[in-house]
């Protein structure tokens, strides 16, 4: 309805502009739903916004626009209010006509072709494959997945991607941690490094290595640790200690055996992440390897392009990017003094590659702790001569998990964390998905496990799903009583929907396409969850106030038709956030 009114206003604007002095290429008029029903259903301030270029008083311009509006059965009447606001009152028949439209459209109701012909890449989660996904990663997974699905729902071609950080120091720490646990299983005794990965999953991978290869990868721990700088508990530097152990592991094992341990850790954890996300309802078109950037020469090519642009200089044996010239707080190292390229260099190459693949828009979903990284990546794209505005970085605050009122601590390195898989087992996939997207991504999220498990109106996902289940219950009761409930019946009786609760529901149903479009364009899934809660509330209120299976056949058929439309919209909205629509609860 909102788009139809915008189209009507555009027609009126063109007619008024033809008479002068307005320009023909006017911006699209802003149309909003009113908060006060006495002001109509929709309103626009276009007359106030254009009064100056039109050289007319806003109210006079509003009168000209209203006179130029094409006739339509959509609108019952139009009023001019205050200094020049135009208020539109939708005809009741137009609201009733939505019911058969919703039922005919089915799963497609609310979808559009708004973004047709435009390609968007959404990269999300991309957690280092150094351990299982925890509940913090879960929020990024749910948020990224719903943003991608919303964009697809309004017509964009969406490419979902996971960037696999399968190179670099953290992966070396993981490989070394696995090997050290393996040595313990072989009977070697030593103090495990404080900066190693300590989770049970590291033991599991080490045990698999030991089962398959026995003592083939064993070495004497005394020789291994001889000459290694002390760890932090012994008064040393934990970073230097783990780096020295990595170097010693590579030398002791040799290239082939070290690579085997490295790949075993990477592939075991990555397979677990793939499975975990699939069970969470998150699928990707591509798992993009960081190592492929080096192997394909993309990293060297990106650095060469920055050199050619005059944006790289040498200092202390390292190569630096002049990122401060493009708004970053300081310059950044691209190649260290030892000749190794940095993670930042790989990230530049990755984003260069994204834009080269022809996406009209690139969306990165990052944890909020990476906010400082945004200006340097955009700086690099600008320095490369690319359009940095094509990159949007959406920052997601980690969820804070509470159980029985107490905060649960999480740390991947120590191994003391709640995994996403454990969360799903405790509260279910539906509750996890819904709770994760109930707030703006930049807002902190307190995830209350007790609330998520509860079967009460206070639990938002239960409240919405219960509305769907209640409708299914009404339909079952009708079938048991032999009442015909076909969606094709009742259209001719929709005028009987005269109760205030029914009018409220019809208005709520009409909002759904606007909600989907707004949530997609703003990357705000919480708009959809809030709408579903409001629609469920409108239905529960209606359910508690009225009978549906009444003796009056015409009224009964009209009400059944209405709740079938509510059921469809609940299903469509829940599907977009990856939540089921149960028939019984």
Pull the structure tokens for residue 564: 């079938």
DSSP code for 289: E
DSSP secondary-structure letter at 371? G
Contact 245, 193 (CB under 8 A): yes
Q: Are 470 and 544 in contact (CB under 8 A)?
A: no
Closest of 446, 434, 342 to residue 402, by C-alpha: 446
By C-alpha distance, which of 100, 84, 90 is closest to 46? 84
CA 124 to centroid of chain Cα atoms: 8
- Using CB atoms within 10 Å of the CB of residue 560, give its burial: 0 to 12 exposed, 13 to 18 middle, 19+ buried: buried
Helix/strand/coil (H, E, C) string of 166-233? CCCHHHHHHHHHHHHHHHHHCCCCCCCCCCCCCCHHHHHHHHHHHHHHCCCCCCCHHHHHCCCCCCHH
> In 10 A of CB 68, how many CB atoms?
18
Return d(Cα 298, Cα 304) in angstroms, integer: 10
Cα separation, 540 vs 563, in Å, equals 11
Backbone angles phi, psi at 91, to 5 degrees: -70, 135
State the DSSP code for 283: -
Please answer whether residues 526 and 520 qualify as being in contact, where contact means their C-beta atoms are separated by less than 8 angstroms.
no
CB proximity list for 227: less than 8 A, separation 6 or greater: none
Do residues 301 and 345 lie in contact, with contact meaning Cβ atoms separated by under 8 Å?
no
**Distances in whole angstroms, Cα of residue 200 to Cα of each of 175, 203, 221, 584:** 14, 5, 21, 39
pLDDT at position 15 is 85
Which H or E run includes 545? helix 526-545
160 close to 233: Cβ distance less than 8 angstroms: no
Query: Which stretches of the chain score pLDDT less than 70?
Result: 23-25, 409-417, 489-490
Question: Residue 542 is encoded by which pair of tokens?
Answer: 């209606």
Residue 411: strand pairing partners:
416
Angle between helices 238-279 and 169-185 in degrees, nearest 10: 90
d(CA 19, CA 285): 52
Choose among 517, 504, 514: nearest CA to 2: 514
Q: What are the Cα distances from residue 172, in Å, to 169, 296, 377?
A: 5, 21, 25
**What tens digit of pLDDT does each residue of 263-309 get?**
999 999 999 999 999 999 999 999 999 999 999 999 999 999 999 99
- CA 208 – CA 542 distance, rounded (Å): 58
Interatomic CA distance for residues 206 and 210, integer angstroms: 6
Cβ proximity of 285 and 159 under 8 Å: yes
Q: Are 18 and 51 in contact (CB under 8 A)?
A: no
Three-point CA angle 100, 87, 80, nearest 5°? 150
What is the length of the chain? 585
Contacts of 3 (CB under 8 A, 6+ apart): 513
Instruction: Record the tokens describing residue 140, joined without a space.
Output: 């990024």
Query: In angstroms, how far is CA 75 from the centroid of its own chain?
Result: 36
Cα 573 from chain centroid (whole Å): 15
Q: What is the CB neighbour count within 10 angstroms for residue 117?
A: 9
494 beta partners: none
- 3-class SS at 156? coil
State the Cα–Cα distance between residues 574 and 251, nearest whole angstrom. 54
The pLDDT value recorded for residue 412 is 47
| pTM for this entry | 0.91
2 alpha-carbon distance from chain centroid: 25
DSSP state, 34? -
What's the distance, Cα to Cα, between the start and end of the chain in Å? 34
What's the pLDDT tens digit per position in 438-474? 999 999 999 898 899 999 999 999 999 999 999 999 9
Helix axes 500-522, 98-105, angle to 10 degrees: 50
How far apart (Å, rounded) are the C-alpha atoms in residues 150 and 431?
Answer: 19
Beta bridge partners of 314: 319
Q: What residues does 363 pair with on adjacent strands?
A: 122, 392
The rounded mean pLDDT for the chain is 93
């Amino acid at each position: 309805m909102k788009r139809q009114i915008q189209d009507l206003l555009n027609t009126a604007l063109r007619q008024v502009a033809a008479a002068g002095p307005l320009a023909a290429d006017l911006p699209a008029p802003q149309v909003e739903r009113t908060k006060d029903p006495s002001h109509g259903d929709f309103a626009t301030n276009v007359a106030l916004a254009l009064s100056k270029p039109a050289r007319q008083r806003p109210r006079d311009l509003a009168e000209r626009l209203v006179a130029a509006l094409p006739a339509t059965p959509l609108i019952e009447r139009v009023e001019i209010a205050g200094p020049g606001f135009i208020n539109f009152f939708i005809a009741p028949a137009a609201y009733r006509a939505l019911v058969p439209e919703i039922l005919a459209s089915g799963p497609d109701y609310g979808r559009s072709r708004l973004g047709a012909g435009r390609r968007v890449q959404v990269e999300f989660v991309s957690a280092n494959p150094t351990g299982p996904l925890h509940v913090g990663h879960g929020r990024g997974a749910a948020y990224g997945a719903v943003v991608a699905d919303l964009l697809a729902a309004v017509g964009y071609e969406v490419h979902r991607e996971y960037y696999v950080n399968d190179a670099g120091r953290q992966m070396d720490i993981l490989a070394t941690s696995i090997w050290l646990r393996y040595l313990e299983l072989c009977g070697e005794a030593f103090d495990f490094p404080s900066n190693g990965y300590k989770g049970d999953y590291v033991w599991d991978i080490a045990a698999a290595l030991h089962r398959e290869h026995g003592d083939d990868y064993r070495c004497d721990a005394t020789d291994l640790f001889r000459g290694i700088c002390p760890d932090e508990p012994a008064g040393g530097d934990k970073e230097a200690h783990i780096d020295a152990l990595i170097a010693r592991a590579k030398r002791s094992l040799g290239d082939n055996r070290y690579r085997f341990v490295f790949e075993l850790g990477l592939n075991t954890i990555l397979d677990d992440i793939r499975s975990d996300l699939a069970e969470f309802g998150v699928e990707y078109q591509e798992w993009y390897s960081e190592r492929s950037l080096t192997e394909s020469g993309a990293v060297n090519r990106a650095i060469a392009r920055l050199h050619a642009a005059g944006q790289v200089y040498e200092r202390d044996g390292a190569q630096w990017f002049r990122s401060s010239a493009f708004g970053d707080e300081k310059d950044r190292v691209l190649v260290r003094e030892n000749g190794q390229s940095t993670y930042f260099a790989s990230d530049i190459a990755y984003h260069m590659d994204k834009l080269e693949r022809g996406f009209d828009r690139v969306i990165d979903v990052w944890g909020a702790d990476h906010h400082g990284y945004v200006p340097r990546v955009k700086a690099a794209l600008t320095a490369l001569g690319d359009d940095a505005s094509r990159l949007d970085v959406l920052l997601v605050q980690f969820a804070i998990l509470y159980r029985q009122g107490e905060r649960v601590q999480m740390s991947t390195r120590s191994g003391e964390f709640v995994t996403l898989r454990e969360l799903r087992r405790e509260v279910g996939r539906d509750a996890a998905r819904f709770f994760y997207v109930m707030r703006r991504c930049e807002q902190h999220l307190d995830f209350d496990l007790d609330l998520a498990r509860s079967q009460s109106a206070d639990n938002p996902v239960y409240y919405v799903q219960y509305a769907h289940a209640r409708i299914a219950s009404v339909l079952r009761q009708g079938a048991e009583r032999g009442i015909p409930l076909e969606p094709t019946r009742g259209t001719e009786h929709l005028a009987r929907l005269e109760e205030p609760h029914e009018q409220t529901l019809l208005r709520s149903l009409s909002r759904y396409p606007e909600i989907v479009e707004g949530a997609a364009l703003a990357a705000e899934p919480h708009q959809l969850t809030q709408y579903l809660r409001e629609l469920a509330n409108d239905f529960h209120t209606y359910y508690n106030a009225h009978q549906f299976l009444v003796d009056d056949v015409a009224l009964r058929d009209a009400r059944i038709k209405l709740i079938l439309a509510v059921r469809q919209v609940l299903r469509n909205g829940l599907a977009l956030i990856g939540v089921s629509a149960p028939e019984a609860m």
